[in-house]
Amino acid sequence: DAGVTQTPRHEVAEKGQTIILKCEPVSGHNDLFWYRQTKIQGLELLSYFRSKSLMEDGGAFKDRFKAEMLNSSFSTLKIQPTEPKDSAVYLCASSWGTGTYEQYFGPGTRLTVL
Amino acid sequence: GDSVTQTEGPVTVSESESLIINCTYSATSIAYPNLFWYVRYPGEGLQLLLKVITAGQKGSSRGFEATYNKETTSFHLQKASVQESDSAVYYCALGEGPGYQNFYFGKGTSLTVIP
């Protein structure tokens, strides 16, 4: 079975650029999550989709972060414009459902903003 | 709001020693959340180690155990005898259950097992 795939694995951007990260969830999963991971803050939820509908837009991340799920098998996370403080690992995860169910994580995209 | 607090790392133990990584949680929006331990081995993605969705129950996997204690709001991870291959980062997590989307992760505990 294919797990969660994320591309690219590494991204380097200049301050002010727009970057788009991509995620393909496990086939058949209903829920998709985007997280940001840093050493200081740990895992922070950015966005959450249930059956392609946006359920959580990340509060403080709303301004420059936008996640979309165009179909059940593909999601993007756009950061516009990027800032150096956005340097982190961005993780995508999918699940059959919320709370009770295991989340399957992708390998992550390491973003460096110069 | 809900939160998870776990042992700050890094933790270093010798092979065959016992291990405990503490995890306590605070759940304000639901009485009995679902509790998880995730692990990230070097070079691999985050993956589920074990989960317990019923208070008072114990979960186990790969020699690790964790008991859901609602009185002390704890979910400590234990192993009687660690191996070098257990070196990884361990994350305690809380899920609010069906119908709720919120999932909270601890900051992770880095474990190194010395042969």
Q: How many residues belong to chain A?
A: 114
Residue B42 confidence (pLDDT) above 70: yes
Nearest Cα residue to A36 out of A92, A75, A76, A81: A92
User: How many interface pairs between A and B have CB atoms less than 8 angstroms apart?
Assistant: 61
pLDDT computed for residue A2 by the predictor: 77
Q: What whole-number distance in Å separates Cα of residue B15 and Cα of residue B34? A: 31
Residue A98 confidence (pLDDT) above 80: no
Residue A62 confidence (pLDDT) above 80: no
Residue B98 confidence (pLDDT) above 70: no
Q: What whole-number distance in Å separates Cα of residue A47 and Cα of residue A78? A: 11
Residue in the block written with tokens 């059959």: A96
Are the beta carbons of A59 and A46 closer than 8 angstroms?
A: no
A11 band by pLDDT with thresholds 50, 70 and 90:
very high
Peptide bond into B98 cis (omega under 30): no
A56 band by pLDDT with thresholds 50, 70 and 90:
confident
Are the beta carbons of B61 and B7 closer than 8 angstroms?
A: no
Residue A105 confidence (pLDDT) above 90: yes
pLDDT computed for residue A63 by the predictor: 85
Q: What whole-number distance in Å separates Cα of residue B27 and Cα of residue B102? A: 11
Q: At B76, which amino acid appears?
A: H
Nearest Cα residue to B110 out of B32, B44, B41: B41
Q: What tokens appear for A79 in the block?
A: 């950061």
Q: What whole-number distance in Å separates Cα of residue A49 and Cα of residue A109? A: 19
Share of chain B above pLDDT 90, in %: 77
Q: What whole-number distance in Å separates Cα of residue B32 and Cα of residue B52? A: 11
Of residues B101 and B14, more confidence is placed in: B14
What is the mean pLDDT of the segment spanning A60-86? Answer: 91
User: Chain B neighbours among A 68-97 (CB < 8 Å)?
Assistant: 91, 93, 97
Exposure string (b/e) for B42-69, b if CB count within 10 Å is 16 or more? eeebbebbbbbbeeeeebeeeebbbbbe
pLDDT computed for residue A51 by the predictor: 86
Are the beta carbons of B113 and B11 closer than 8 angstroms?
A: no
pLDDT tens for B71-82 read 999 999 999 999
Q: Is A56 exposed, middle or buried (0-12, 13-18, 19+ CB in 10 A)?
A: middle
Which residues from chain B sit within 8 angstroms of residue A108, using beta carbons? 45
What is the mean pLDDT of the segment spanning A47-56? Answer: 85
User: Chain B neighbours among A 11-70 (CB < 8 Å)?
Assistant: 31, 33, 41-43, 45, 48, 50, 55-56
Are the beta carbons of B113 and B86 closer than 8 angstroms?
A: yes
What is the mean pLDDT of the segment spanning A57-62? Answer: 68
